[in-house]
Amino acid sequence: MSRKLAGFLVADAVSYSARMEENEAKALAALSNSRAIIDGILAEHQGSIIATAADSVIAEFPSALDAVRAALDAQAQLERDEADNFRFRIGVHFGDVVQQDGTLLGDGVNIAARLEPLAPNGGIVISGVVADQIVGKVDARFASIGKHSVKNIARPVDLYCWPETAAKSYRRRKLMRLWPIATVALIAVASVFAWFARQEEVDQGMPTGPKIAVLPFEEVGAGAEEVFFADGLSRDINAYLTKFSNLFVFSLSSTREYSEVDCATIRRELNADFILSGTVRRADESLRVTTSFTDARDCVQLNAPGPFTRDLSAQSVIDVQIEIARKVVSEIGSADAPIFDAKLARAIEEKAPENLNAYECVLLSYWFYENFEPDRHRRARDCLMGAVKSDPDYSLAWSRLAFSHIESKKYSIDTKDSWDEDSLRAAQRAIDLDPANPDAYYALAIRSQMVGDAPDVFANHARKAIELNPYDSFVLADLGTWMAYSGQWDTGKEWVTRAKALNPKHQSWWDFIWQLHSFLQGDYSASIAHAQTVNLPGNYMVQAALTAAHAMNGDQEMAERTLEKVLELKPDYAEDPRQPFRARGMEKVLVDKLMEGLTMAGLDVPT
C-alpha cells in the first residue's frame, strides 16, 4: 500500500438514461463518439483512465493543471463537433490517495466524484485546491461559488465553476436561502427559487455503494390470502436499509421473480453485490424469522442475522426488522451504520403501532397494489377503518386510509361522494401525528391533482414526499407519472428514469407517460411503439390512447379494432371517455387531442 498526490477528473454524461429510453441505438452511437473525443483528449494531457461506466469516466493526472486543461479541451471539442454528442458535467480535484492492489482510494477520488453532479451541463466544477494551482496558467476564468457541503466529506469544500456565467445561479440559490422574507411577494419569489434548488437535488441524488437485493421473505405454512405478512415484513426491512445513502437497495418488486436464491442469476441480471432472503412462520402466538445473507460477488454465505423467535406482537416485529437491518449494514461495513444503533432505531420505534392488527392492516393496503383486485381494496379499507379506531396515534394507518379513499375514486371501487374530504382529513391527521411521514405527503400530492388544485400544490407535496423518502422506486415512478400528467413532462420522465435505476425489473406501466407524450407531440408512430413497451392489453386507458394514436396515424383498421378492445374491457367507456384522463389531472390539450383521435376511430365522444 502506497500514498501519492494526484489530480482527478470525473465526467458524466447529461440525460444519458432519458436518451437511452428515447432511442437506444442513437444514444449509444452518440455516447461512443463522445467518449472517443474525451478519451483522446485525456491521453493528450497525460491522463490515465482508472474507471469507467456506461456514461462516465474517472481519470488520474500528474497535476491539477493537466486535469483542468483536459476538462476544458474536452468540453470545447464536444461543443465544436458537429455530431449529436452528449454534454458532460465534469468535476476536478487534487488530493491524496492510497494505492492498494492497483486501486486508488481516498478523498482525492471521492471529492472529484462529489463535485461532478454540481457542475452545470457542459461545464466544470473544481475545488479550491485546484483553483489555487491553475491561477494564471489557463485562459478560462473559474468563478467562485463559495463553500459547499458534499456527501460523506466532513468539511465544506471551496468550489469554483466554469463557465463563470453559470456561477450566478449558485449564488442566487444561496442568497435565496439566506434572504430575510418580509412580504408575501418575497415569500412567493423565494418559494420558486427554493423549489428549483431542491428539485435539482432530488433529481441528481442516487444511492451509492454496495448493491443489496432483498428477496421477498417466504411465509411458511400460510395460505394464499395471508402471505401479505411476510411480504410486508420484507418491504419494511428493505425500506430501513434505504435509510443509508451509501447503500444501493433494489426495490423489492425488482427481486420478486426470484423465488429462490440463484446467486449467479441475481448477480448477472441485477449486478447485485449482496442478497438477503428469509422465511417467516407465525404459529401459536409466536413469530420465527430466519435469514440467509449471501455475498453475490463470489456466492459465499455470510453471517446471517438471526434466527429470531419472539412473541407475535407489533413490537417484536419491529425489533426483528431493526435487528436484521442493523446486522446487514454492520456486515457490509456501511460508513453511517452507527446511526442505526440510536437515533434512527429510536425514530422507527416511536412511529410503530401499538398493536399487531393495525400493522397488518397497513401491510394489507400495500398488498392491493400487487393486482389491484377490488376485494383486496375492500379488505384493506375495512381493516384500516378499524385500525385508526383501535390505534388512533398510528400515523401510517391514517395515511394508508387516505390512500384508500383516493383509490376508491381512481379505480371506481365503492366511491363515496365525500372521498376527497375523507382523504384530506386522514392525510392531515397522519401529518399531525408524524410530520415526517412521506406517505401522507404522497397522498396529498395525488389527491391535489385529482381534485384540480393549482399545479404548485401538487408539486410541493410531491417534492416533500420524495425529500422524506428519496429511494422508494414505486413512489418516484408514480409521482413522476403524475408530474408528467400535469404537463411537467421532463421532470416526470427524470423521476421515472431514476425509479427505473432503483428497480431494473419495474412494472411496464412506468412507460405510459412516454406513450402519452409522443402522442401529444404528434409522433404517433413513437406513441404506438411505446404502447407495445407498456404492453397492457387489459388496461382500457392504455388501449384508448393507443386507439387515438392509430387513428391519428392513418391506420383506421387498427384504430377500430383497438377501440373494440377498449369497449370490451370497459363497456360503459363511451358514456364519459374523458373521465379517466381528467381524473388524473391530465392537461386539457392532451385530453382534447385524445378525444379527437377516438372520434376519428369511430367513438361517439360526448361534447
Question: Which one, of 418, 384, 408, 410, lies nearest residue 398 by Cα?
Answer: 384
DSSP 313: S
Q: What is the pLDDT of residues 224-237, one digit of tens each?
A: 556 667 777 777 77
Same-domain check for residues 46 and 148 = yes
% residues pLDDT > 90 (the chain): 30
Q: Is residue 501 part of a domain?
A: yes
CATH number at residue 122: 3.30.70.1230
Does 65 lie in the same domain as 164? yes
Q: What is the pLDDT of residue 148?
A: 79
Q: In this structure, are 146 and 255 located in the same domain? A: no
- Give residue-wise pLDDT tens across range 246-269: 567 777 767 777 766 788 888 888
- Looking at residue 243, its pLDDT comes to 63
Cα 503 from Cα 506, distance rounded (Å): 5
The CA–CA distances, whole Å, from 337 to 243, 327, 334 equal 10, 9, 5
Higher pLDDT, residue 378 or 468: 378
Task: Say if residue 307 is preceded by a cis peptide, omega within 30 of 0.
Answer: yes
Query: What's residue 304's pLDDT?
Result: 78
| Same domain (yes/no): 308, 413 | no
37-45 mean pLDDT: 94
Is 201 domain-assigned?
A: no
Asked if residue 348 is part of any domain, the answer here is no
On whether both 165 and 59 belong to a single domain, the answer is: yes
Q: Is the pLDDT of residue 33 over 60?
A: yes
Domain boundary among 333, 361, 395: 333
Do 157 and 255 sit in the same domain of this protein? no
Residue 522 and residue 378 share a domain: yes
Tens-place pLDDT, residues 417-447: 999 999 999 999 999 988 888 899 999 999 9
| In a shared domain, residues 382 and 515 | yes
C-beta of residue 418 within 8 angstroms of C-beta of residue 426: no
Q: 139-158: per-residue pLDDT in tens?
A: 898 888 887 777 666 677 88
Q: Is the pTM of this model over 0.75?
A: no
Residues 536/509, Cβ–Cβ less than 8 Å: yes
Least trusted range by pLDDT, from 76-80, 310-314, 423-427, 457-461: 310-314
Query: Residue 308: pLDDT above 90?
Result: no
314, 333, 352 — which closes off a domain? 333
Q: What is the mean pLDDT of residues 365-380?
A: 79
Local structure of 310: helix, strand or coil: strand
The answer to whether residue 109 is domain-embedded is yes
The answer to the question of residue 346 being in a domain is no
286 pLDDT tier (thresholds 50, 70, 90): confident
Query: What are the distances in angstroms from CA 497 to CA 24, 204, 441?
Result: 14, 11, 21
- Residue 567's pLDDT band (boundaries 50, 70, 90)? very high
Q: Which residues, 6+ apart, have CB-to-CB distance to 392 below 8 Å?
A: none
Checking if the pLDDT of 159 tops 60, the result is: yes
In this prediction, residues 353-373 reach a mean pLDDT of: 71
Candidate from 15-24, 60-69, 545-554 with smallest mean pLDDT: 15-24
Tally the domains of the chain: 3
Domain boundary among 176, 195, 222: 176
pLDDT value, residue 207: 64
Beta-strand pair 274-283/218-219: parallel
For residue 199, is it within any domain?
no
> Is 196 contained in some domain?
no
| Domain, as residue range, for 135 | 2-176
Tell me the mean pLDDT in the region 179-194. 32
Note the pLDDT of residue 189: 30
| CATH number of the domain to which 327 belongs | 3.40.50.10610
Residues 583 and 472 in one domain: yes
- The answer to whether residues 164 and 234 belong to one domain is no
Tell me, yes or no, whether 525 and 397 share the same domain. Answer: yes
Residue 240 has a pLDDT of: 67
Check whether residue 41 and residue 149 sit in a common domain: yes
Lowest mean pLDDT among 122-136, 285-299, 411-425: 285-299
Structural domain includes residue 164: yes
pLDDT tens profile 466-490: 888 777 788 888 999 988 998 889 9
